[in-house]
Amino acid sequence: MNEFGKHIEHKNLYKEYVRILNGLLQLSDREAELFALLLKVDCEWESKLGEPKNILSTDIRRAIMRETRINKNNLSKYIAVLREKGVLIKTDDGYEVREMFIPKLTGDLLEVVFILDSRDKQKDFT
């Protein structure tokens, strides 16, 4: 098995993680930037007084628009793409990142395993 490693600063963890996943997701630069921010919000979520998790709350959307300079219409379009690709899921309380995209840190290490299957798909002749 081939192993590749890269040392990164912790502040760039989510951005680099999304860059790696983008080989599968095929997100635009802005969509990937938004995904990295939402991933950070989701992973670092701290509930205040029992507040339910909603990474697309009005306050968070406003903060993202300020930080990224994405306008409201484009933000909505990028969010729609992330929903269509199954990255964001709707919960009873709002939205969060799908569990399979949440990075699993072991200490200071994050490991990602990709399995590429090159077998031909079976042809359906019916």
At 63-82, the pLDDT tens digits run 999 999 999 999 999 999 99
Collapse the DSSP code of 115 into the 3-class scheme (helix H, G, I; strand E, B; otherwise coil) and give the result: coil
Nearest residue to 109 (alpha-carbon basis) of 2, 6, 3, 18: 6
Q: Say yes or no to pLDDT of 109 above 70.
A: yes
d(CA 56, CA 21): 21
Q: How confident is the model at residue 122 (pLDDT cuts 50, 70, 90)?
A: low
Q: What is the mean pLDDT of residues 2-9?
A: 86
pTM for this model (two decimals): 0.84
Task: Check residue 51 and give its pLDDT.
Answer: 81
Assigned fold of 10-110: Arc Repressor Mutant, subunit A (1.10.10)
Task: Check residue 47 and give its pLDDT.
Answer: 74
